[in-house]
């Protein structure tokens, strides 16, 4: 293998691998062992995922084609071949999705007393629906006829519309066209108000279609079909030219709804003349059209799953547990000053993280709080806590990432609210997204200042913390505190990076550090010492890291990878990756933690990170990786977290070298091992315990310091990073 020109046959296409992940999600929707409304959720997630895929990834490929870009993917495809492969795979996926809905999920819902879509109705039901239409829907509709005086209207991204064909004496063809946009301010699923305790639903577009005669009086309607347009939704921002990043992003958010169309979803019985018109005005090819036999955008079925509380149709309820040692600690700072603490979300409650920061906001000994916010959520209590800390006179700095995709508007809102409350808000480094999850608290103690650091694999978002599996780490280790201080100084004001003591930081040295650790395992193997790599990630795409893993396998290193989503590495290739195994776990909670275990010749090391092994994380984002130095926590991660997941025989799937996956099941006589269920039970046991079994880890005291923030030491001639983004005016 050449380091400079990797063999394309050694890599799996990123986009196709991502689509295979969605196939695994769809397989969960097809699993009769999964409670019915949980199956509906998985079906909905696939639809939502495909929306984002088209808005960003497919839109990007189409932009490459429009710009005559000839850059090849890692598996050797040009943009045209890439788009062709994507189109073929998505069409198969959508066909499977709707077959599952039509032939299995919908009939199962009906057996459970949940009716979706139009049914033969009694005159009483028809009158009731018409009354609802006249009172609540008709006043907000705008029928748009298409003719020379009325050009084709702009169709909003992801909006559902009705395309109408009607007879017209004005046109040579004898037909005319009109469009009615289904209002997004109204719930799409409308209760028919008949029986089943409100579990009979109509789609709003069907309600409108039934009453089109009120919108087009005197017109003879030939056909009507719902359709939905997906547009390029990526932001294009020239940060070098933007004096005010917040204002620039706000402007781009208003513009992006007019992005080029990239997909058309339409009912399978659409009038061919209407379809031809839509393709023409949207400039879409035949492959961009997805004709479906069922309701458009099954993502809206999430409201059905969430709105029915019958326990037999859902997973067994689980409440994240507040566990020792935080539960029993009168002073969480005294606790963390003595030992490192690890929490496993969502099994162990994220409220412990929120409470730790809230204590800091009100503690008179706390001088400063610094935090990175990537996806804080729509109604974050953390933002209110930071505002209160500033009002209490603390120096509060929040690095708000305005370019967090699909969360731009929420983050702009929080940035303004924080600034108004006295928080010093910055927007990171020019040209980079700040994806690291770090909170630094500086507290005046005896004999001097002490730094408390929270590092995490997941966001400071209490909503996603109940849905994603992540690891939270609290420490007062001085060298990690010094690195965290240096990181915030780098992000808020300095242009020269320090020499990191414990952290590895992208885009400075994270990729190099990962490759160095992999190469070290290879050398251990060559010397006959214990060598093994276990890595748990969302995605593995980076060519250089994959090449290093191939080299490690060839040197004799056993490599076990737990990759939830995209994996461009091919395991099990003779002479290349025979010692590499890859599994994916898709279950109730979204696997999100990034964890790396290195055998290191018999002296194991464990690292956590905010970063996946992807070029964007290594090059275009600010990320951190940090070591777990507490022996007990390290042992739990290696033996209980990683090894347990590697042995999962209920929700794990083994990846083959061609990129396909095969679901595991218990062998004869083998007990089921569903790791997420085990972690839920572990959290309940811990919550019932009076103390935690991990003993304190001693720390050396920080030297005496004046009660001011320590300056970052001068570092001789390090490499430069992109200049800091100026604070908006």
CA-to-CA separations, 291 to 35, 99, 163, 274, 279, in angstroms, rounded: 29, 13, 14, 13, 13
Does a cis peptide bond (omega within 30 degrees of 0) precede residue 69?
no
CA distance 647 to 145: 61
What is the C-alpha separation between 11 and 678, in angstroms, rounded? 34
CB atoms within 10 A of CB 574: 7
Beta strand 160-167 with 175-181 is antiparallel
Residues 6 or more apart in contact with residue 168 via CB below 8 angstroms: 174, 175, 176
Q: Is 654 helix (H, G, I), strand (E, B) or coil?
A: strand
Residue 367, SS3?
Answer: strand
Of 297, 344, 345, 435, which residue is the catalytic one? 435
The number of residues in the chain equals 729
| DSSP at 342 | E
Quote the longest CA-to-CA distance of the chain: 91
User: Could you give the C-alpha distances from 449 to 253, 391, 444, in angstroms and in order?
Assistant: 43, 22, 5
Strand runs labelled E in 33-181:
115-116, 144-146, 160-167, 175-181
SS3 at position 609: strand
Write the CA distances from 385 to 361, 435, 668, integer angstroms.
7, 21, 53
Kindly report the three-state secondary structure assignment for every residue of 553-571: HHHCCEEEEEECCCECECC
CA–CA gap between residue 279 and residue 223 (Å, rounded): 17
d(C-alpha 407, C-alpha 718), whole Å: 34
Helix, strand and coil in the chain, % to nearest 5: 40, 20, 40
**Integer Cα distance of 485 and 501 in angstroms:** 12
Burial 586-614 (b: 16+ CB within 10 A, else e): bbbbbbbbbbbbbbbbeebbbbbbbbbbb
Contacts of 360 (CB under 8 A, 6+ apart): 366, 369, 389, 394, 441, 443, 452
The 3-class secondary structure across 207-224, one letter per residue, is HHHHCHHHHCCCCCEEEE
Residue 390 to residue 392: CA distance in whole angstroms? 5
Of 303, 306, 267, 301, nearest to 105 by C-alpha is 301
- Is 435 designated active site? yes
Q: What are phi and psi of 573, to 5 degrees?
A: -80, 130
Q: What is the dihedral of CA 404, 407, 409, 412, to 10 degrees?
A: -50
- Please name every residue paired with 145 in a beta bridge, in sequence order, or none if there are none: 178
Catalytic residues: 435
């Amino acid at each position: 293998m050449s380091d400079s020109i990797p063999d394309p046959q050694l890599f799996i296409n990123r986009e196709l691998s991502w689509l295979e992940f969605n196939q695994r999600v769809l397989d969960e929707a097809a699993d009769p062992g999964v409670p019915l409304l949980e199956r509906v959720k998985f079906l909905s997630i696939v639809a939502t995922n495909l929306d984002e895929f088209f808005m960003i990834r497919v839109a990007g490929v189409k932009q490459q084609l429009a710009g005559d870009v000839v850059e090849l993917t890692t598996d050797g495809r040009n943009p045209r071949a890439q788009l062709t492969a994507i189109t073929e795979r998505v069409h198969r996926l959508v066909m499977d999705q709707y077959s599952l809905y039509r032939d299995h999920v919908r009939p199962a819902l009906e057996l459970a007393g949940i009716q979706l879509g139009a049914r033969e109705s009694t005159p009483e039901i028809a009158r009731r629906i018409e009354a609802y239409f006249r009172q609540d829907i008709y006043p907000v509709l705008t029928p748009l006829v298409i003719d020379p005086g009325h050009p084709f209207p702009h169709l909003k991204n992801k909006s559902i519309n009705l395309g109408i064909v009607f007879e017209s004496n004005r046109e040579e063809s004898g037909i005319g066209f009109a469009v009615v946009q289904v209002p997004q301010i109204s719930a799409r699923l409308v209760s028919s108000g008949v029986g089943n305790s409100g579990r009979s639903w109509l789609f709003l577009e069907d309600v409108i279609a039934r009453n089109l005669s009120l919108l087009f009086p005197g017109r003879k309607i030939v056909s009507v079909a719902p359709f939905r347009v997906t547009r390029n939704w990526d932001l294009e921002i020239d940060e070098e030219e933007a004096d005010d990043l917040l204002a620039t992003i706000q402007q781009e958010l208003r513009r992006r709804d007019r992005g080029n169309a990239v997909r058309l979803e339409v009912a399978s019985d659409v009038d061919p003349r209407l379809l031809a018109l839509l393709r023409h005005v949207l400039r879409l090819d035949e492959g961009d059209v997805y004709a479906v036999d069922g309701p458009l955008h099954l993502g809206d079925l999430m409201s059905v799953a969430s709105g029915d509380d019958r326990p037999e149709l859902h997973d067994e309820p689980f409440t994240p547990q507040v566990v020792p040692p935080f539960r029993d600690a009168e002073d969480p700072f005294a606790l963390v000053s003595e030992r490192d603490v690890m929490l496993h979300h969502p099994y162990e409650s994220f409220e412990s993280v929120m409470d730790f920061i809230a204590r800091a906001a009100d503690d008179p000994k706390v001088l400063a709080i610094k935090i990175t916010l990537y996806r804080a959520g729509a109604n974050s209590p953390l933002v209110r806590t930071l505002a209160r800390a500033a009002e209490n006179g603390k120096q509060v700095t929040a690095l708000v990432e305005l370019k967090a995709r699909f969360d731009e508007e929420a983050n702009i809102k929080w940035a303004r609210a924080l600034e108004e409350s006295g928080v010093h808000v910055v927007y990171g480094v020019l040209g980079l997204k700040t994806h690291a999850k770090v909170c630094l608290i500086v507290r005046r103690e005896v004999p001097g200042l002490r730094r408390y650091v929270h590092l995490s694999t997941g966001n400071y978002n209490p909503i996603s913390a109940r849905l994603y599996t992540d690891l939270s780490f609290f420490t007062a280790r001085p060298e990690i505190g010094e690195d965290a201080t240096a990181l915030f100084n780098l992000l808020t004001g300095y242009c020269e990076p320090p020499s990191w003591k414990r952290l590895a930081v992208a885009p400075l040295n994270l990729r190099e550090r990962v490759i160095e650790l992999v190469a070290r395992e290879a050398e251990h193997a060559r010397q006959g010492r214990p060598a093994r790599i276990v890595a748990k990630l969302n995605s593995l795409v980076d060519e250089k890291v994959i090449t290093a893993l191939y080299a490690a396998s060839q040197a004799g290193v056993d490599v076990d990878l737990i990759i939830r989503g995209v994996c461009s590495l091919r395991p099990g290739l003779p002479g290349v990756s025979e010692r590499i195994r890859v599994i994916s776990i898709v279950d109730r909670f979204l696997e999100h933690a990034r964890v790396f275990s290195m055998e290191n010749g018999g002296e194991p090391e464990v690292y956590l990170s905010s970063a996946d092994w992807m070029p964007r994380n290594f090059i275009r984002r600010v990320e951190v990786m940090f070591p777990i130095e507490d022996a007990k926590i390290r042992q739990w991660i290696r033996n209980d977290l990683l090894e347990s997941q590697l042995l999962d025989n209920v929700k794990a799937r083994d990846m083959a070298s061609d990129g396909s996956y095969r679901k595991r099941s218990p062998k004869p006589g083998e007990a089921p091992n569903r790791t997420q269920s085990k972690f839920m039970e572990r959290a309940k046991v811990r919550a019932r315990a009076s103390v935690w079994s991990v003993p304190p880890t001693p720390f050396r005291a920080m030297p005496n310091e004046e009660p001011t923030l320590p300056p970052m030491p001068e570092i001789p001639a390090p490499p430069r990073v992109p200049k800091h983004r100026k604070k908006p005016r």
